[in-house]
Amino acid sequence: MLSWASRTLVAAMSTMTRKPEVLFVLGGPGAGKGTVCGKIVKKYGYVHLSAGDLLREERAKPGSKFGELIESHIRNGTIVPVKITCSLLDRAMQNSEVSHNKYLIDGFPRNQDNLKGWTQDMAEKVDLKGVLFFDVSEEVCTKRCLGRGATSGRSDDNLESLKKRHHTYINDTMPIVDHYKKLGLVYTFNGEKSPGAVFKAVEQVLTKIGW
């Protein structure tokens, strides 16, 4: 029988050596990915890494050699090469000092290139617990983003960019969701419900996976 001190030490060591646990968060533009992640962070304190936010941050860095490339992809609703996005995610994970080891990766993987790069560079380093998928019609997504566009200052919350973003979502991102569905990893939510109702449903899944 281990003493209390030994058990505490073993528990602490297993937290240190355990792989980071990851949930991917996917859905169309304006599906509520960021909103739900914000609620999870507030209640549970897990780490929220938004690929889009990390790319926007990188774009804004003075002298960033990827700034123009990122801006052109964002405006056109196309997907930035995975080397850039994956290294931003990897760095952000390493820089987050947390004891719980739980990460929400929002807006990634968005296409085959994202998936391939992740599989090559990151998949072995983490424990993928599942994919939270928010299902919202194009009409509702567009309405929400145009509403957000009034104050977000984002160069892609306009009708022209939104059409392109939706095209990318249907053609490039849905096959990734389907890939994870086949692996039994996808939890689908009706993202058209109120933020509170969506969060309630998400909490049930978090409980189910032991988060």
User: What residue ranges bind ligand C5P (CB under 6 A)?
Assistant: 29, 51-52, 55, 73-74, 77-80, 85, 107-108, 110, 114, 156, 165
Residue 47: its H or E element: strand 47-50
- Give which of Mg ion, ligand C5P, none residue 108 binds (C-beta under 5 to 8 Å, depending on kind): ligand C5P
Q: Which one of the spans 30-38, 41-49, 121-129, 160-168 is the region binding Mg ion (CB under 5 A)?
A: 30-38
Q: Which residues pair with 186 in a beta bridge?
A: 131
Of 31-70, binders to Mg ion (CB under 5 A) are: 34
d(CA 105, CA 23): 6
Beta bridge partners of 127: 21
Name the one residue in this structure whose structure tokens are 């609703």: 77
Q: Which does 51 bind (CB under 5 to 8 A by kind): Mg ion, ligand C5P, none?
A: ligand C5P
Contacts of 93 (CB under 8 A, 6+ apart): 20, 47, 49, 103
Cα gap 148→39, rounded to integer Å: 18
Query: 35 or 188, CB closer to Mg ion?
Result: 35
Q: Find the shortest distance in angstroms from Cβ 171 to ligand C5P.
A: 13
Helix (H) or strand (E) holding 204: helix 195-208
Q: Which does 130 bind (CB under 5 to 8 A by kind): Mg ion, ligand C5P, none?
A: none
The contact set with Mg ion (CB under 5 A) reads 34
